[in-house]
């Protein structure tokens, strides 16, 4: 009995000691700053800030729950299939620290230290990148969205005339009101001096009868230097040293915004943050879109339509035309999406794993950056496999009762897509061993 009491007491005290050691300032603040605050701060996507001790302690139990269930931080890829540079999931140890800290009544620890550590990561208003943008190119004025529950497709014209060409080290879509946006794409078009970049309307509404007015932007569209985008959950796109693309001195950005239906009047104003670098771009990055609305759309098998009350799997196989090094991958489906997997099979028969999302959630998408460049040799068969659930058991199904869904050109949320964007470079010897910074 005495031994039992002794064991019990020492266990109790040990736990107490361990618990006492976990404080906000020493253990919890660094995790929250790194893994939560990018979204949980003013101006970002989350509904409340997690910056101070009070912000966090006030929601302790709630935070413990969402961390334990894996709901927060949102991170959908299977890390056993492939790990990523921008992984924001919590390690097992970090989760345990948060749970134990909440269970031990959330001691704050040394406030002095906390203030010091708070300055370890300085968040900058208006960006998730680590410094202020060099140039922000915005639409001319806020767009008013009527609360009539209609989807809208707008193309905004953003003319620009910089002092000179610029080397881009990072780009980031920004918006004053991200929650009303379903997705955004932007294309950077260089425009020669003879063409007036100020001509034409500030925007064209593609969802209305305006559609034909889109032709007024044709003079800008002769060349395209880059193509990027934003979907819910995504952050910036940045490139390792010496990598990037060149922003032309003069031109027009055509920014397509798909507004989600809203029942309440809203305003939104968006733009693109550009981060330039003085060092030369030695390796040019490129983007390609595969699948719906991209390369190989008609090769999706079987034909891309999902009858009501079925779950249906599709695949797309595309042969890689040259040796490529892959930097980012960006899977995309809508509300019926369940699983998404991509891999390449080399001519030698080796499988290169690219990404696996075992439980797709439209709300949490991301452009995933690899830790090292992934070589995809010429002649590899790039394969995408995706599964969709168009039954009433799928709680996200937008149709009650379910109805036949396919990929229409409009890309409404209630249509479906099976798309994958890749940011890649031409392969150079030794790429797969390059140490990438940033």
Give the shortest CB-40-to-ligand HEC separation in angstroms: 6
Question: Cα–Cα distance between 213 and 368 in angstroms, integer?
Answer: 36
d(CA 137, CA 106): 43
Which residue, chain included where needed, has tokens 């001509």? 199
Half-sphere exposure (Cβ direction) of 10: Cα atoms closer than 13 Å:
5
Nearer to ligand HEC, 91 or 322 (CB): 91
Altogether, the residues listed in the chain come to a count of: 438
Provide, rounded to whole angstroms, the least separation between the CB of residue 89 and ligand HEC. 9
**88 makes contact with ligand HEC (CB under 6 A):** yes
Give the binding-site size for ligand HEC (rule: CB under 6 A): 20
Q: Which is nearer to ligand HEC, 31 or 197 (CB)?
A: 31
Q: What span, in angstroms and rounded, lies between the C-alpha atoms of 75 and 308?
A: 29
CB of 130 to ligand HEC, least distance (A): 16
Q: By CB under 6 A, is residue 72 in contact with ligand HEC?
A: yes
H/E stretch holding 157 reads strand 152-161
Q: Which stretch binds ligand HEC (CB under 6 A): 56-64, 186-194, 197-205, 222-230?
A: 56-64
67 touches ligand HEC by CB under 6 A: yes
**Shortest spacing between CB 255 and ligand HEC, in angstroms:** 22
Q: Which of 19, 57, 66, 425 binds ligand HEC (CB under 6 A)?
A: 66
Residue 91 C-beta: closest distance to ligand HEC, Å: 11
The torsion region of residue 106 among left (phi > 0), alpha (psi -120 to 50) and beta comes to left
Residues numbered 342 to 401 that lie near ligand HEC (CB under 6 A) are 363
The answer to the question of residue 271 lying near ligand HEC (CB under 6 A) is no
Which tokens in the block code for residue 240? 């390792």
Instruction: With beta carbons less than 8 A apart as the criterion, state whether 214 and 255 touch.
Output: no
8 Å CB contact between 256 and 233: no
Q: Which is nearer to ligand HEC, 76 or 138 (CB)?
A: 76
Q: CB 234 → ligand HEC: shortest distance, Å? A: 8
137 touches ligand HEC (CB under 6 A): no
Give the position of tokens 């991170």.
75
Count of CA atoms in the C-beta half-sphere (13 A) of 172: 26
Distance, CA of 285 to CA of 287 (rounded, Å): 7
CA distance 130 to 373: 22
Residues 30-49 that bind ligand HEC (CB under 6 A): 35-36, 38-40, 45-47
Check the CA dihedral 354-356-360-364 and report its sign.
negative
Q: How far is the CB of 224 from ligand HEC (least distance, A)?
A: 29
| Binding footprint of ligand HEC on the chain (CB under 6 A) | 35-36, 38-40, 45-47, 59, 62-63, 66-67, 72-74, 88, 90, 233, 363
């Amino acid at each position: 009995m005495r031994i039992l009491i002794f064991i019990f007491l020492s266990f109790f005290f040990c736990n107490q000691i361990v618990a006492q050691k976990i404080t906000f300032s020493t253990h919890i603040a660094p995790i929250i700053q790194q893994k939560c605050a990018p979204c949980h701060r003013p101006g970002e996507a989350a509904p409340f800030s997690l910056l101070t001790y009070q912000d966090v302690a006030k929601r302790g139990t709630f935070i413990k729950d969402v961390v334990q269930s894996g709901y927060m931080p949102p991170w959908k890829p299977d890390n056993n299939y492939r790990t990523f540079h921008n992984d924001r999931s919590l390690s097992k140890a970090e989760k345990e620290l948060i749970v134990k800290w909440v269970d031990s009544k959330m001691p704050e620890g040394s406030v002095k230290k906390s203030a010091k550590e708070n300055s370890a990561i300085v968040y900058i208003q208006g960006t998730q990148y680590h410094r202020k943008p060099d140039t922000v190119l915005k639409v001319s004025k806020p767009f008013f969205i009527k609360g009539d529950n209609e989807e809208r497709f707008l193309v905004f014209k953003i003319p620009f005339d910089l002092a000179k060409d610029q080397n881009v080290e990072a780009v980031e879509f920004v918006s004053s009101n991200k929650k009303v946006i379903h997705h955004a794409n932007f294309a950077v078009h260089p425009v020669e001096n003879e063409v007036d970049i100020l001509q034409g309307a500030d925007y064209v509404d593609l969802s209305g009868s305006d559609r034909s007015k889109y032709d007024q932007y044709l003079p800008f569209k002769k060349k395209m230097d880059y193509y990027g985008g934003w979907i819910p959950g995504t952050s910036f796109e940045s490139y390792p040293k010496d990598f990037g693309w060149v922003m032309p001195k003069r031109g027009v950005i055509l920014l397509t915004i798909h507004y989600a239906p809203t029942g309440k009047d809203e305003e939104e104003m968006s733009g693109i943050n550009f981060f330039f670098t003085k060092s030369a771009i030695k390796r040019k990055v490129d983007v390609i879109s595969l699948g719906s609305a991209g390369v190989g759309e008609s090769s999706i098998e079987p034909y891309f339509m999902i009858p009501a009350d079925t779950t249906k799997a599709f695949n797309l196989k595309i042969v890689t035309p040259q040796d490529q090094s892959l930097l980012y991958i960006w899977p995309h489906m809508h509300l019926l999406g369940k699983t998404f997997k991509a891999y390449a099979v080399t001519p030698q028969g080796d499988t290169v794993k690219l990404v696996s999302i075992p439980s797709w959630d439209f709300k949490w998408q991301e452009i995933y950056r690899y830790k090292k460049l992934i070589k995809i040799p010429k002649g590899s068969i790039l394969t995408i496999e995706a599964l969709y659930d168009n039954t009433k058991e799928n709680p996200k199904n937008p149709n009650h009762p379910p109805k036949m869904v396919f990929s229409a050109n409009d890309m409404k949320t209630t249509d479906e897509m099976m798309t994958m964007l890749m940011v890649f470079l031409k392969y150079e010897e030794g790429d797969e061993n390059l140490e990438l910074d940033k």
